[in-house]
Amino acid sequence: AVTPGHLSETVKAETHLPAKHIIQDRLLLEARRMARFTEYSVKETAHALGFDDPSHFAKVFKKVVGHSYLDFRHES
């Protein structure tokens, strides 16, 4: 098993980015795909991607993407 600290150190040494950043980018890439190509609600998308709190997911999505989940869907 790999500890979270070891994973973070290894990823940062190789990519110069924190593991959390890379994981969040990948999750939000999938969230954008789901917004465009599915009819999943914010809640359904949040839970499918492992977020326990849909409102936290919505805040992270808007902060990173620059639009709310639904606005992003309608603009796509």
Q: What percent of the chain clears pLDDT 70, i.e. is strictly above it?
A: 100
Per-residue pLDDT at 76 exceeds 80: no
> Closest Cα to residue 61, out of 33, 28, 38?
28
Collapsed DSSP state (helix, strand, coil) of residue 50: coil
| Whether this model's pTM surpasses 0.75 | yes
Residue 31 is predicted with a pLDDT of 98
The C-alpha angle with vertex 24 and arms to 21 and 25, in degrees rounded to 5, equals 85
| Total domains, the chain | 1
Of the two residues 32 and 76, the one the predictor is more confident about is 32
Q: For residue 70, what is the domain's CATH number?
A: 1.10.10.60
Which residues constitute the domain of residue 22? 4-75
Quick: pLDDT tens for 43-57: 999 999 999 999 999
